């Protein structure tokens, strides 16, 4: 398969083995691990971590990355900040055990435009960058509409501010859309050379409200976005967020993944 495709397991089920089985059947070759067995991956015991690895190997899959919630807190929450640096240390330790050389990070909850917080944000990232550089792990910032960095434009501004080789991008067109950016081409063009991982979800605006949709049935131009990504080495990971009328996460994820394959087949 030319495309490296992944699915976040908990978008299907908290039953990790069931999720991996479904991901394999759908035709992805990677599993992205966030929450499993009703806990975040950073909260797993040593034996649970071993069990997680065994399940992935059993189905002949690979883990694309481990998702901690690092810095999904308010920027002035000092107690939370210290706790989240510990979470970051933990996910870095676990990632290294899997030979994964990057980990996802956020940019604190949104309290206003980035320009008012960029100096403080750069200061707060200092300790995280120290951890990353000492361990040889790159931090990939996920643009998140509920955080200070929500768009490609914000990512570019912040990357230019901190100028660290240890900080790159987890590009999420769906989040950029929710943050009122046109993800492709506008956001993508600003950060395309700094992307290490991609999350895929689609959305529309219906009666003034943002609504998640199956990939290919929303307003995001994934055909051109995927075309621009063709040949790039990173993994494209489904994080559907969409739920069908029955509110069935597994069926909804399948519908979205089939939407991805349909678009990719048109490109090939």
Closest CA to 167 of 175, 156, 178, 177: 156
pLDDT at residue 268, as a whole number = 66
Per-residue model confidence as pLDDT tens digits over 188-230: 999 999 999 999 999 999 999 999 999 999 999 999 999 999 9
Q: Which helix (H) or strand (E) holds 80?
A: helix 78-97
**What is the three-state SS of 5-37?**
EEEEHHHCCCCHHHHHHHHHHHCCCEEEECEEC
Average pLDDT, integer, range 21-28: 98
Q: Which fold has domain 5-267?
A: TIM Barrel (3.20.20)
Work out the angle at residue 66's Cα, subtended by the Cα atoms of residues 221 and 157, and round it to the nearest 5 degrees. 55
pLDDT at residue 2, as a whole number = 85
pLDDT over 90 (residue 234): yes
Q: What residue ranges do the domains of the chain occupy?
A: 5-267
pLDDT over 60 (residue 1): no
pLDDT at residue 10, as a whole number = 98
pLDDT over 70 (residue 161): yes
Question: For 194, which DSSP code?
Answer: G
Between CA 138 and CA 30 the distance in angstroms is 19
The average confidence (pLDDT) of the chain is 97
Average pLDDT, integer, range 178-185: 98
């Amino acid at each position: 398969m030319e495309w490296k495709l992944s699915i976040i397991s908990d978008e299907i089920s908290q039953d990790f083995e069931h999720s991996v089985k479904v991901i394999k059947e759908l035709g992805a070759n990677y599993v992205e691990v966030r929450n499993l067995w009703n806990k975040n991956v950073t909260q797993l015991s040593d034996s649970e971590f071993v069990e997680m690895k065994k399940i992935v190997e059993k189905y002949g899959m690979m883990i694309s990355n481990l998702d901690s919630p690092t810095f999904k807190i308010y920027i002035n929450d000092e107690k939370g900040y210290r706790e989240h640096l510990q979470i970051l240390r933990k996910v870095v330790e676990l990632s290294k055990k899997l030979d994964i050389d990057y980990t996802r990070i956020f940019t604190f909850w949104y309290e206003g435009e980035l320009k008012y917080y960029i100096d403080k944000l750069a200061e707060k990232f200092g300790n995280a960058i120290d951890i990353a550089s000492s361990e040889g792990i790159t931090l990939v910032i996920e643009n998140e509409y509920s955080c200070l960095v929500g768009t490609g434009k914000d990512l570019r501004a912040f990357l230019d501010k901190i100028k660290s080789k240890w900080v790159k991008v987890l590009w999420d067109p769906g989040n950029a859309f929710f943050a009122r950016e046109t993800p492709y081409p506008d956001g993508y063009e600003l950060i395309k050379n700094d992307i290490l991982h991609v999350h895929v979800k689609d959305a529309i605006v219906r009666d003034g409200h943002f609504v998640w949709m199956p990939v290919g049935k929303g307003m995001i131009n994934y055909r051109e976005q995927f075309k621009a990504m063709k040949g790039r080495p990173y993994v494209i990971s489904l994080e559907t967020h969409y739920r069908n009328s029955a509110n069935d996460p597994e069926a909804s994820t399948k519908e979205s993944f089939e939407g991805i394959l349909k678009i990719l087949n048109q490109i090939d």
